[in-house]
Amino acid sequence: MRKKILSILCPLSFIVQATATEIYQEPLYFEITSENEHTVRVSSLAENFYYEKLEINIPSTINYNEQIYHVTAIGNNAFTDAEISSVIISSGITTIGEEAFYNCQNLTHVEIPNSVTLIEYAAFCDCISLVSLALPNSLTSETVYSGAFNRCEGLTSLTLPETMENINRNVFAGCSNLTSVTMPQNMDVQNSYLYITKDDIRYRILNGHEVEVSFGDYSGNLVIPPTITAGNTYNVVSISFLGNNNSLSSITIPNSVTKIEDGAFMNCSKLSSVTMPEDLDVSKGKLVYTAPDGFKYYIFSGSKAAVTSYKGSDENVSIPNSISFGNQLDIIYIESKTFVTLSNLQSITIPPNIIAIKNNAIVSCNNLKKIICLTEMPPSMLSQTFDANDITLVVPCDKIQWYTNSETWNIFKTIQCLDEETDDNIETIINDNTAIKTTTASRTVLVVNQQIIVNGEIPDYVLSPTGQKIKNKNLKAGMYVAVTENEMISVLVR
């Protein structure tokens, strides 16, 4: 049981006896921490002072028994659950103890002097009405303990001192309504759950000059700015998570953004447009677009995408060479299981931009009879990508040798040449290792004894892929260009 020391009401003998326990000076109790140094700490608030709008001024000294005692600390749980509205801490106090102001839900204002060197665990946790906070230069990263200002949901303005290089984990966790944070430029806070909101966009602060876009209640068209001013001026450099959102229809990403975190766009099923830098790598972001024509795409960057599935019912399907999705995106990959159990499918046209076809891209499409591949080079793929026994492969006439000599593409029993002018399909005939013959409506090309023959004539020179003039004799294995009066012909020499 507390012993109140009221010097104007109680006998002197009683005051002396009570000094080993508590001193009462309205409305606070103090405990003596050192008789030799004459120091005390605040231990509690008198219970009969628990009422709304109580303003507390914690003094730097108290006068007890004709002796000045210095107040150096606010003790653990000193004001827990107190209905106080304002606290002014006088200079000279060095420590604010564990849960000292825990759950003071009416506390709107606190002044912390430059003498405070330690704020312990959960000191101001759940002070939900606290609006602004400025920490003094006397504090460091190591002297503000975890949870010190946890769940101060009303906090909108925060100022951190130059003496802090980082923030302990969870110091400001749950401070969900910050709109201004002023801090040193080089301060690292990316592991501190420090968030700010600006123009309805939520950001996680990384350091004193960089932020990343974080989860929020977004809808419609989200335009991300390159910088924000919210205390400091911050560059917006990354996007952590916008996913699980069926209300977003478009996103505009500025050039300042250089990183997309894992799963940043997952399950944003209504997105129809993302405008972003062409070189921005979004491959980890799980950015997916389902087009009206039945194709589904996986976006790799601001300029590249892959086709991942087709849910249409057309007999003849052409994969787009590119799509408009905010940016214009080239389709460069066909992913595994893009075409699965499509009974109507009879032909697929592969556009020029495709560079790779993943394993089992076409599965159980039993009526597929033709694949038209328009690429400059045979796309890389595994041999089990197609069941090629009953499928005809059609390729550009001047590229046919590349396909017939590819270890993965020559699995097709029938490879035909697509004449772009007449749409005639001319079958390629492969003879033996010493002669390769390609016949079209206008020319016959032979490779005999490492020499190129066009329409029965032997050109004196051919061109290398880099344009270098080379004698048409004893040619090494590789690609060459034979030049005639009417055309330039790509020829593979094995």
Task: Give the DSSP letter string of 406-457.
Answer: -TTGGG-SEEEEE-TTT--EEE-EEEETTEEEEE-SS-EEEEETTEEEETTB
pLDDT of amino acid 486: 66
pLDDT of amino acid 383: 63
What is the C-alpha separation between 377 and 490, in angstroms, rounded?
A: 11
CA-nearest of 392, 393, 387 to 363 is 387
pLDDT of amino acid 419: 64
Q: Which long-range contacts (CB under 8 A, 24 or more apart) does 475-484 make?
A: 475/450, 475/451, 476/450, 479/402, 480/452, 482/445, 482/452, 482/454, 483/459, 484/443, 484/454, 484/455, 484/459
pLDDT of amino acid 465: 59
What is the C-alpha separation between 196 and 175, in angstroms, rounded?
A: 9
Cα 91–Cα 93–Cα 96 angle in degrees, nearest 5: 130
| Residue 259, beta-bridge partner list | 238
pLDDT by residue for the chain (494 residues), tens only, comes to: 343 333 323 333 233 333 446 899 989 999 999 999 999 999 999 887 655 568 899 999 999 989 999 999 999 999 999 999 999 999 999 999 999 999 999 999 999 999 999 999 999 999 999 999 999 999 999 999 999 999 999 999 999 999 999 998 889 999 999 999 999 999 999 888 899 999 999 999 999 999 999 988 899 999 999 999 999 999 999 999 998 999 999 999 999 999 999 999 999 989 999 999 999 999 999 999 999 989 999 999 999 999 999 999 999 999 999 999 999 999 999 999 999 999 999 999 999 999 999 988 998 899 999 999 999 888 988 766 666 668 889 998 888 888 888 888 888 878 888 764 334 433 333 323 333 444 444 567 778 888 888 887 888 888 875 567 888 888 887 777 787 776 677 777 77
Three-state DSSP class for 12? helix
What share of the chain has pLDDT > 70, as a percent?
Answer: 86
What is the C-alpha separation between 479 and 493, in angstroms, rounded?
A: 6
Residue with tokens 């405990």: 31
What is the C-alpha separation between 63 and 45, in angstroms, rounded?
A: 18
* Phi-psi label, residue 168: left if phi above 0, alpha if psi -120 to 50, beta otherwise: beta
Task: Note whether 138 and 117 are within 8 A (CB).
Answer: yes
Q: How far, CA to CA in Å, does 134 sit from each of 98, 110, 149, 191, 483?
A: 19, 9, 12, 20, 78
pLDDT of amino acid 227: 98
pLDDT of amino acid 456: 76
List the domains of the chain with CATH numbers: 1-193 (3.80.10.10), 299-427 (3.80.10.10), 428-494 (no CATH)
